[in-house]
Structure 1
Amino acid sequence: MLTFGAVLAPLTALAQSSPTTEERLAALEAYVANGDPGKALTGLPGPGHNGWMMVCAALVLFMTLPGLALFYGGLVRRKNVLSVLAQCLGITSLVTVLWWGCGYSLVFGKSFNSAFLGGAEFFALHGVTSAPNTDYAFWVSQNVFAMYQLMFAIITPALIVGAIAERMKFSAIMAFVTVWMFAVYFPLAHMVWGSTGLMNGVWNAGAKIAAIDFAGGTVVHMSSGWSALVLCLILGPRIGFGREKMAPHSMVLCMVGTGLLWVGWYGFNAGSALAADGVAANAFMTTTLAAAVAAFVWGGIEKIFRGHASILGFCSGAVAGLVVITPAAGFVSATGAVVIGVIAAIVPYLACTKLKARFRYDDALDTFGVHAVGGTLGALLTGFLATSDVNANLTGPAAAKSGLAQLITHGGLWLEQLKAMALTVVLSVTATVIIAFAVKAVMGLRPTEEVERQGLDINEHGEEGYVT
């Protein structure tokens, strides 16, 4: 006689392992056959996985609101703190509307039958219901999956704000982000994560570039970071840059924002497993290790060479560790995460101190130094440290057909990672140059010198962050 324990045991064992998609489907078929033959295979998804993904979606939104807003807000001068908060809120609202209208479909649809862009079948979230979209997850409702991916789409352009803080008009930022989402984020996200994507080596058997990106090293951090550098160069430095003191107005807010980012990043990385399973558990562990190690090493570097370990240093190190582990979180071991943490502190530290000082570009809050350099570094390190011992999907059927499995077994994945990195940089830089100059021609990028000196808060938003 079939017992509850008999049905539960194989599912429990599966949840504690790192199964391939095919193994998940086989387990689901067995459950339907043994548990309730009347249910269709695409019936209600697992409530545990759905619950996990809803929490993860909330955590990723938590990264932007209020995590990134406070992190960036604390690093600017007090006369501009509200401008950063307004930009994060504005981008969140704007991107949500775009995602509903067409963004989700352009990334995760497939009616265009294209390796570069998805399709039109999900415009206005048509057909996005509580049933799973089995192109991506057998266990999670498609509406939950869509909202989870929305949070990635929100934080990516919000990261750009850090490089151009204190000197770009709010209207210009909104216009830039609108076009940038269509030119950079939507196509890049489809290429890396879409079921027909050009660079989706794990899930697309026909991928032309067998690269891997677990949670957004290329899609999120490289795209935003390289775009941020280009935009800050076109915009020019802040008035008084290099001559006037531009110290952060509140390291307390920065520290609070860092903590919120770190907590939210568990939804970002562990949630990218799209199930509460062994891969998610591994990503949770590697995320913790990389962030903590990078914070410790960055603080140690400051102590050795500057005589003190600053709060800003610890915060920068933690975020750098989180950035660099992102593309690798579900693919590397604990030791791999520690190695990543060490390198994530050293290289971005040099980028934020030596490189920026050498070339004197005004990357106000080190978006390029942490996110572009860190994301690029993470994508490359993933090519060396990824292992199928952690994630069996790296040698699964789709990976075997795309060539990824052979690269994992015999080496050479880093070459595919380089291809994906090069495409990401070229797309991000080229699109940003065109969009920035177009927006500049139509409406201008910067406020007047008088407005910039007085502060964006009172002039652009009619409010002040602090009343004395």
Structure 2
Amino acid sequence: MAPTLFDATTDAITVNLNSLWLIVAAALVLLMTPGVAFFYGGMVRAKSVISMMMMSFGAIALVAVLWVLYGFSMAFPSSTPDQANAWLIHGVVGNPFANAGLIPLLTKGGAGAENNLNALAFAGFQATFAIITVALISGAIADRARFGTWMVFAGVWVTLVYFPVACWVFDFTAGNTDGGFIVHNLGVNDFAGGTAVHINAGAAGLALAIVLGKRVGFAKGMSKPHNVPLTLLGASLLWFGWFGFNAGSEAAVDGVAALAWINTLAAPAAATLGWLIVERIKDGKATSIGAASGAVAGLVAITPACNILTPFWGMVLGLIVGAVCALSIDLKWRLGFDDSLDVVGIHFVGGWIGTLYIGIFGSGIGLIDTGSFKQLGAQALGALIVSVYSFALAFAIGWVLERTMGFRVKNEEEVAGVDLSVHGEESYALDPQTV
């Protein structure tokens, strides 16, 4: 993040321009969560699409409220006007009451009053990151989760896992000597959330897939996407919104934002080709689902690295991650965990590849430029910390909820369709009287 939110020396024109970009970028990123709903919704059975999409829309409603109440305070203590009250545990998590309701950001006078607009825009932008991270997890438990229990899980997980991890990774601004320990102390480069968003969500998805167990009839080829155009629409919305996700993470209109933008175009384009090539060699056909999945894998991998790679190395990353993720999605059949919509194979694996890639090819910091493995070691350690923390807490939260509230629907409800059993609705009305 380039600007310091409460820097009174920043001129008003720059503040307003940067705030405008943050507001636009936030709208783009928020659109990504309905994009996830469409992307996932098209890939499940017709009898589960409402359940699948509702988990994304439920994430928007719940996480947005929690973010305003206390999430921003926990994730961004360095953006709190009252620094004496900012931290709960220094370098780890902020005081949830420091910016409760975002009221201190509205205060006129005192520290930060000059950049009040920028601070509020930044808070809104980062809210959309929290929302989509939770929504991504839902793909791992498609076709078999109770909505009410999912909402409880989402609230607890985002509080205990995402908000602290966001503090570790995102609470760092240029010239700031404070902030989260993964970026500030370990020196990890994670520009827009390879660890905080994708590895975080992927690890949690794996944990929940294990807790909820396999779907009825779990086997390769057990089900096909019920609506491929819906999935392609979702992938398109994701790619469109991702320009705000990556370029907006600079929080300024400058050359770094432009570099992030072009890498967000080039890397997923190359990843799409990489996935399709592997798919054609492995299965004999290049599919539209493969193209959509390859694009998302490329977007995941370039997220932490979009500020530090040249477009050429960004495309190389795309080719690699597209090919590797196309192969890695089959791991669930070999290892026996039911990750319904390949959250692990795309987000967890893709996040790890993008994070480690920086340690080798990152401009000015990677092995190629420096001859040192230091950055690669830092990237690996940061990714490992987030992976273990997210998996452990997600497993614990999911295990407790499964044994108290019940997280998985009954087998007969799963076979009949989660939409009717959980929501009392059908996604496609076939009754002639309703057509």
Same fold by TM-score greater than 0.5: yes
Relative to the length of structure 1, the TM-score reads 0.83
Structure-to-structure mapping, 1:367-406, within 5 angstroms: 367-388=343-364
2:238 aligned with 1:270, yes or no? Answer: no
> Residues 27-106 of structure 1 correspond to what in structure 2 (within 5 A)?
29=9, 46-65=15-34, 67-106=35-74
Distance apart, 1:305 and its partner CA? 2.7
Q: Which residue in 1 is equivalent to 2:179? A: 197
Find the aligned partners of 1:243 and 1:288 in 2 and give their Cα distance. 33
Give the secondary structure class of the aligned counterpart of 2:93: coil
Please tell me the residue identity of whatever aligns with 2:101. A
Q: 1:143 aligns with which of 101, 120, 125?
A: 120
Question: How big is the shift at 1:300?
Answer: 1.6
Question: Are 1:61 and 1:151, in contact at CA under 8 Å, matched by a contact in 2?
Answer: yes
Please name the residue that 2:105 is paired with.
128
Partner SS for 1:141? helix
2:3–2:252 contact (8 Å) kept in structure 1: no
Letter in 2 for 1:265: W
**Matched letter for residue 252 of structure 1:** P
Structure 1: any 5+ residue segments left out of the alignment?
1-18, 33-42, 202-206, 389-393, 395-403
**Alignment identity in percent?**
38
1:412 aligned partner, one-letter code: K
In the alignment, the residues of structure 2 paired with residue 131 and residue 60 of structure 1 have an alpha-carbon distance, to the nearest angstrom, of 29
Counterpart CA distance in 1 for 2:181 and 2:379 is 9
Structure 2 counterparts to residues 166-205 of structure 1, below 5 A: 166-195=143-172, 196-201=178-183
Amino acid of the structure 2 residue aligned with 1:356: K
- Larger Rg over CA atoms: 1
1:356 to 325, 329, 332: 332
1:466 aligns with 2:434: no
Q: What is the deviation of 1:430?
A: 1.1
Instruction: Give the CA deviation at 1:73.
Output: 0.2
For 1:46 and 1:146, the matched residues in 2 are separated by 15
> After superposition, what is the alpha-carbon deviation per residue over 1:178-197, rounded to whole angstroms, capped at 9, x for unaligned?
11112210111101112433
Tell me how far apart the structure 2 counterparts of residues 255 and 318 of structure 1 sit (CA, whole Å): 10
1:92 shift after superposition: 0.7
CA distance in 2, matches of 1:294, 1:243: 24
Task: Give the aligned CA root-mean-square deviation in angstroms.
Answer: 2.6
Q: Distance in 1 between matches of 2:236 and 2:110?
A: 33
Once the two structures are TM-superposed, the CA of residue 453 in structure 1 deviates from its matched residue by 1.2
Distance in 1 (alpha carbons) for counterparts of 2:394 and 2:125: 26
2:286 corresponds to 1:317: no
Please give the secondary structure, in 2, of the residue aligned with 1:72.
helix
1:242 Cα deviation after fit: 1.5
Aligned partner letter, 1:447? V
Give the distance between the partners of 2:251 and 2:371, measured in 1 at CA: 25
User: C-alpha offsets along residues 93-151 of structure 1, whole Å, 9 cap, x if unaligned?
Assistant: 0001110110000001252261110123101112123989999x979611111010000
Query: 1: CA distance between counterparts of 2:92 and 2:388?
Result: 14
Check the 8 A contact 1:156/1:221 in 2, yes or no.
yes
Given residue 335 of structure 2, which amino acid in structure 1 is its aligned partner? F
SS in 1 for 2:105: coil
Please state whether the residue corresponding to 2:403 is helix, strand or coil.
helix
Q: TM-score under structure 2 normalisation? A: 0.89
- The correspondence for 1:440, drawn from 396, 402, 406, is 402
Offset of residue 441 of structure 1: 2.0
SS for the counterpart of 1:79 is coil
Aligned residue type for 2:68:
W
Partner of 1:14: none
Aligned to 1:257, the other structure's residue is in SS state helix
Whether the aligned pair in 2 keeps the contact of 1:45 and 1:141 (CA below 8 Å) is: no
Structure 2 CA distance, aligned partners of 1:272 and 1:347?
Answer: 26
Q: Which amino acid in structure 2 is aligned with residue 199 of structure 1?
A: F
Contact 1:199 1:208 in 2 (8 A): yes
Say which SS state the counterpart of residue 245 (structure 1) adopts. coil
Instruction: Name 1:37's counterpart in structure 2.
Output: none
Deviations 1:306-346 (CA, angstroms, capped at 9, x unpaired) = 22110011111000000000000111111120111111112
Task: Deviation per CA, 1:279-298: give whole Å up to 9, x if none.
Answer: 00000011111000000111
Question: Is this contact kept in 1: 2:18–2:118, CA < 8 A?
Answer: no
Q: Which residue of 2 aligns with 1:299?
A: 276
> Match for 1:118 among 83, 94, 100?
94
Taking the aligned partners of 2:2 and 2:147, their CA distance within structure 1 comes to 45
Name 1:280's counterpart in structure 2. Answer: 257
Q: Which residue of structure 1 aligns with residue 376 of structure 2?
A: 414
Say if 1:410 and 1:245 are closer, same or farther in 2 by CA, change over 3 A. closer
Count of matched residue positions in the alignment of Structure 1 and Structure 2:
412
Kindly state the Cα deviation for residue 357 of structure 1 after the two structures are TM-superposed.
2.5
Range 226-235 or range 319-328, more displaced? 226-235
Structure 2 counterpart of 1:383, one-letter code: G
8 Å contact from structure 1 (residues 211, 420) kept in 2:
yes
